[in-house]
Amino acid sequence: MSQPKFAVIGHPIGHTMSPFIHQQLFAMRGLSFDYDVFDIPPQELEQWIPRLKEYTGFNITIPNKEAILPFLDEIDPTAAAFGSVNTVKVQNGHMKGFTTDGPGCILALECGGVIPRGNVLIAGTGGAARALAFALACYPGVEQITLASRTTSLSKGQAIAQAAESFAHSTGHTARLLCVPYEELEGTFDLMLNATSVGMRPNVNGCPVSDDVIARCKAVFDAVYNPGETVLLQKARAMGIPVVHGIDMLVYQAAAAQMIWDESARFESEAVARLCRLAEEETQRRFQNR
């Protein structure tokens, strides 16, 4: 029997911390496996499928979370509802897609002392934003979710809002969802989540929303994890607003992915929390001079 092997795909992918995190998680279990990195633009994804089927499992990051869907043999019902996949399990060439975006984000928030509630703002209308919208719409205490969109993506954001609201209501939750252009954001928010790539290396000076919007948020989460302290988080922290780092979400997502690849895998919560800080330090060490 061949040795299990794993990978992450995305574009660009040079910034990824996934190999470091997964190797640490494997080590917690007394294991050591290969974890490769492949830079694959969406338009080249189809030609890579035969090679990816040789792996035991792989992770998917921007911009392939939706692009992978047509090539999967099966999709977990939750991932199908969310409309994006970030984890694939391969068995005898059969590829099944899952999402750990929602659970990873929820765990990162909770462990960071931020409990989603009330009025939530999500910046973005891509696959990550959709997954977060679906997950948070079903979180007790969340009453309304506003997706902020560029004008050119407004119809896409409105479709996400409608689908996530319907999904939440079908499961007994009553959250309301809407999508508005960034320039029309009004009122205060109990939590803001950046689900865009704005602020990611190499474009580290970007910020997805204005200072005025940040000041109207009671807590801020940024899914971007490189740099660890994005401009968005720096500004929020300077305003005295609690922040949660994207690296925490990545670590909890990775742990959830390993439990998909191997249903017997288990992790102690304290060990995962320590890994979050270790991964944050490694990110800073690795990229501080770039």
Find out whether 85 and 130 touch, Cβ atoms under 8 Å: no
* 3-state helix vs strand vs coil in the chain, percent to 5: 45, 20, 35
Closest CA to 229 of 212, 255, 260, 207: 207
Q: How far apart are CA 40 and CA 152, in angstroms?
A: 25
SS (H, E, C) 143-186: EEEEEEECHHHHHHHHHHHHHHHHHHHHCCCCCEEEEEEHHHCC
Catalytic residue among 5, 65, 96, 156: 65
65 given a catalytic annotation: yes
Q: How far apart are CA 272 and CA 32, in angstroms?
A: 17
* Tokens read off for 240: 């005295």
* Tokens read off for 54: 């040789």
Q: Which residues are catalytic?
A: 65
